[in-house]
Homo-oligomer: A and B are copies of this chain.
Amino acid sequence: MSDNVLFFGLGSMGTGMAHSLRRAGFRVNAFTNKPEVRQAFIDAGGESADLAAFAPEAAAVVIAVVNAAQTEDILFGKTGLAECLPAGCVVIACPTIDPADARRFEADCEARGLLYLDAPISGGALKADAGALSFMASGRPEAFAAAQPFLDAMAASVFNMGERAGAGSVMKAVNQMLAGVHVAMTSEAMAFGMAQGLPPDRVLEVVSQSAGTSWMFENRAPRLIEEDFVPAHASLTIWPKDLGIILGICEQLGLAAPITQAALDRYQQAIDEGRAHEDDASLVKTYLGEAGLDRPDREGSS
């Protein structure tokens, strides 16, 4: 096998992943719908060959786009990549998608002699940069074996969830469901404390040492306190997408998920208020605004 990696999607996660692969010695050819972003990656040491020339030599394809539709488009749609890849090439699919889509992509790849790894990621942009993501992966043992050197370059840990595609996506969905509710609860609880006069930095200090804490609370509360709402990390729009996939699955299963639904409704409310472009910690503004409050802890804050 060659050292050639085809990479799709140079967003906040993908950029760090592609550079991690490059630093590990792989020849990485990264594609995106923004020509200047592709050029910057080439300038930093990425490959510049055309897709048609590069694909037949690829040992792996890493897909870091945002959803199942884009993944399908790359593999089987207008890009038609699956027809150009060599037999035994492994497709490492990282977006958060419906497990049913993952199973379908696996079947369609296998029908063309390709290996498929259902490999959603967790960890954020900083860990992507550091090659220290978590992968919640499932797929055939041959797919794991072929993907291993590439995962080694991008991951601190790889959780093997089972021998067929789908289980990785289910695991990611479970984690995302908890994460999405905890982010929203960070704003709900902080607004509750602020509305009664508690300084939010003090609330962070106490909660982080108490039974109410969560990974997301400790991660998002500092941004909320500082009103640092540039979406460098996670924009509000991620959650209606991911929680929407999860609630769609719940409906098929006949499983109630009213807490997840309540969180999704809150994110949608913030987006309806025109704040889709903001960091998800800005959800607190929805709560305070509804109560006619304006950061009680900050005089003259706008």
Contact = CB atoms under 8 A, between A and B. Distances in A.
Given A197-B167, A215-B212, A258-B265, A203 B174 contact: yes
Contacts of A167: 197-198
A20 interface: no
A189 B161 contact: no
Contacts of A211: 122-124, 175, 179, 215-216, 219
Nearest to A99: B196
A197 B39 CA distance: 43
Contacts of A205: 159
Contacts of A161: 198, 202, 206
A263 B263 CA distance: 11
Interface stretch (A60-68, A82-90, A110-118, A249-257): A249-257
Interface string A41-62: 0000000000000000000000
Contacts of A184: 259
A145 interface: no
A212 B179 contact: yes
A162 B197 CA distance: 10
A188 interface: yes
A203 B287 contact: no
Contacts of A257: 188, 192
A255 B287 contact: yes
B192 A255 contact: yes
A214 B182 contact: yes
A262 interface: yes
B196 A185 contact: no
Contact of A177 (B171, B195, B212): B212
Contacts of A216: 211-212
Interface string A209-222: 11111111101000
Contacts of A170: 193, 196-198
A138 to B, nearest CB: 10
A69 interface: no
A193 B174 contact: yes
A209 B248 CA distance: 26
Contacts of A249: 192, 196
A96 interface: no
Interface centre among A170, A246, A261, by most chain B C-beta atoms within 10 angstroms, is: A170
Given A170-B197, A214-B215, A254-B292, 16 more contacts: A122-B211, A123-B211, A134-B209, A171-B202, A181-B181, A182-B214, A188-B257, A192-B249, A195-B253, A211-B215, A212-B215, A213-B214, A255-B290, A256-B291, A259-B259, A259-B266
9 contacts: A174-B207, A177-B192, A177-B212, A178-B185, A188-B260, A191-B255, A192-B249, A195-B253, A259-B263
